[in-house]
Amino acid sequence: MPAELFRSASSYTPVRRPASLVPVSVAAHVVVIAAVFAAPLLGDIEFPPPNRPLNYTYTSIELPPPPAVTLKAAPSQQAPTSSPEKAPIEAPAEITPESAIEPGQAFAAHTSGDDSGVPFGIEGAVGPPVAPLPPPPPQEPRKPVRPGGNIQPPRRIVNVAPVYPAIAQSARVEGTVAIEALIGEDRKVRNVKLLSGKPLLTEAAMTAVRQWVFTPTRLNGEPVAVIMTVTVVFSLN
């Protein structure tokens, strides 16, 4: 073996190249790299065939024929000149004077119109039938009220004195009978109900109260029935 391979590192002297060779070396490397990348772009390169062929499968679909289109002729735009409600297309040869309306001849308007599109018609024209209005709902009778607040108690204008029962007189029975009276809208007593009193006096008291007449009682300007308590006093003095 050569003795230069076994020299000590301290005795090794590196070889110095001239500095002018460094740019030349760099330029040579750049040219080689550019040639490697530019060669495929400038030349025709044949790629190797794939490992296996690519097979495509397709299915044909038959579409139905489109439906036939039938063209209809446009309706005629000629308007009948015999209709008095439609304006004529052509100017008339002469203008006839209008006839005066005779006295007593009346015209009526049809608010619903007719099939010809004319909103108004002459009296006697037949229009669509009009449904009759439903009857108004029956009014519920007013409930009797009791005096109080804005409702003043009625005053008695016809007073019939009770007949003192003979058996009560002989037994010297006296007292007060309280009765609940229903006074109708016609101001007369329609019903009586005993609240308190002695049995010998109650029948005579209710018979007298049924004949009483009172002033009318009004609520919102209309007469109403009233329920009130009346008293009948029996005294032997």
pLDDT by residue for the chain (237 residues), tens only, comes to 455 555 555 555 665 666 667 777 888 888 888 877 776 666 665 656 666 666 667 677 777 777 777 777 666 655 555 555 666 677 777 777 766 555 545 444 444 444 554 444 455 555 677 788 888 877 677 788 998 888 888 999 999 999 999 999 999 999 999 999 999 999 999 999 999 999 999 999 999 999 999 999 988 888 899 999 999 999 987
Q: How far is CA 206 from the centre of its chain?
A: 58
Q: What is the pLDDT of residue 110?
A: 44
DSSP designation for 152: P
In a domain, 147, yes or no: no
The strand pairing partners of 231, in sequence order, are 178
In a domain, 205, yes or no: yes
In a domain, 174, yes or no: yes
In a domain, 131, yes or no: no
**CB neighbours (10 Å) of residue 182?**
15
Q: What is the pLDDT of residue 99?
A: 64
Round to whole Å and give the CA distance between 192 and 187: 14
CATH number, domain containing residue 160: 3.30.2420.10
In a domain, 171, yes or no: yes
Sequence-distant (6+) residues with CB within 8 A of 165 are: 200, 201, 203, 204
How many structural domains does the chain have?
Answer: 1
- Segments forming the whole domain that contains residue 173: 156-234
Q: What is the pLDDT of residue 176?
A: 95
pTM of the model: 0.42
CB 205 within 8 Å of CB 138: no
Sequence-distant (6+) residues with CB within 8 A of 167 are: 200
Q: How far is CA 13 from the centre of its chain?
A: 108
CB 182 within 8 Å of CB 189: yes
In a domain, 167, yes or no: yes
